[in-house]
Amino acid sequence: MAGAVGIVGCAGRMGRMLVQMVLETDGLTLAGGTEPAGSDALGQDLGALVGFADIGITVTDDAAALFAVADVVIDFTIPEATVQHARLAVAHNTAMVIGTTGLAPDQQAVLADAAQHVAIVQAANMSVGVTVLESLVQRLAGVLDEDTDIEIVEMHHGAKIDAPSGTALTLGKAAAVGRDVSLDEAGVFTRHGRTGARARGTIGFAALRGGDVVGDHTVIFASQGERIELTHKASSRTIFAKGAVRAARWVLTQPPGLYSMHDVLGLTA
């Protein structure tokens, strides 16, 4: 199905990648892009913004006008903006794909309300590979009992300011769901000094930092005599944009609801 895609936050790191990817994707057209008032990008041609030839559509701060003409809007901005955009999606009956992270519970509630009227895909990690890994981890954790120790190791570039990564936590949650336990109770986030033996049923985390690593995650299932290791390595942020564009195509044909990347990939059936 052909679709006109709007990109809010089009001059951001993800926004630029998305503009480029939509322009290069058959069957999708670019409806426009927005940035907030005061942004240097306002008035620039969207093609030129990503190093392509001019396409005759400029960056504006008029999000309402974009929602009025787009079939689906992709949002990788900031939580405050995403909430406003979700309200516009309802007003203009426009589907959304939301990658913005860090929404507070009241902001998340606005998205849930909006999803009663329009179709929204929301995921903290839009990578197809990570979504598949989560699904595998949940399934394995359910099959292997607590004789199997689960450890999650992640590595990111040295400039990352939080640990463990959001994706490592998501993988930990998937393991906890598979085991029918709560990550708050089962998670072990630090080990230093005389820690004592590993407690049965815990899910351990280790975070490594260095260099320019985009994001590596390994989930280890270790038992007496054997070990399974599942690893995902990201070498480019384009995986998030690719997943978001795949979600945009998918959401165009969906009824109202709040969907995840698992739904997009058919992993929830």
- Please, what is the minimum distance in Å from the beta carbon of residue 26 to ligand NAD? 23
77 sits near ligand NAD (criterion: CB under 6 A) = yes
- Point out the catalytic residue in the list 92, 117, 160, 262: 160
Active site residue 160: yes
Nearest residue (beta carbon) to ligand NAD: 12
- Please, what is the minimum distance in Å from the beta carbon of residue 191 to ligand NAD? 28
Q: Are 146 and 267 in contact (CB under 8 A)?
A: no
- Please, what is the minimum distance in Å from the beta carbon of residue 136 to ligand NAD? 18
Angle at 163 between CA 162 and CA 167, to 5 degrees: 100
Strands 215-223, 226-234: pairing is antiparallel
Distance CA 29, CA 7 (A): 11
Active site residue 85: no
Q: Which of residues 7, 50, 126, 137 is near ligand NAD by CB under 6 A?
A: 126
Residues 245, 248, 253, 259: is their CA dihedral positive or negative?
Answer: positive
Give every CB contact of residue 3 below 8 A, 6+ residues apart in sequence: 27, 28, 29, 71, 72, 248, 249, 252
108 sits near ligand NAD (criterion: CB under 6 A) = no
Exposed/middle/buried for residue 261 (C-beta within 10 Å: 0-12, 13-18, 19+): buried
- Please, what is the minimum distance in Å from the beta carbon of residue 107 to ligand NAD? 12
* Amino acid at site 32: G
204 sits near ligand NAD (criterion: CB under 6 A) = no
Q: Kindly tell me which of 161 and 269 has the beta carbon lying closer to ligand NAD.
A: 161
11 sits near ligand NAD (criterion: CB under 6 A) = yes
- Point out the catalytic residue in the list 85, 156, 173, 217: 156
260 sits near ligand NAD (criterion: CB under 6 A) = no
Distance CA 156, CA 177 (A): 25
Q: Are 64 and 88 in contact (CB under 8 A)?
A: yes
Q: Which of residues 67, 205, 221, 240 is near ligand NAD by CB under 6 A?
A: 240
Q: Tell me the catalytic residues.
A: 156, 160
Site residues (vs ligand NAD, CB under 6 A)? 8-9, 11-15, 34-36, 39, 63, 76-78, 81, 99-102, 123-126, 240
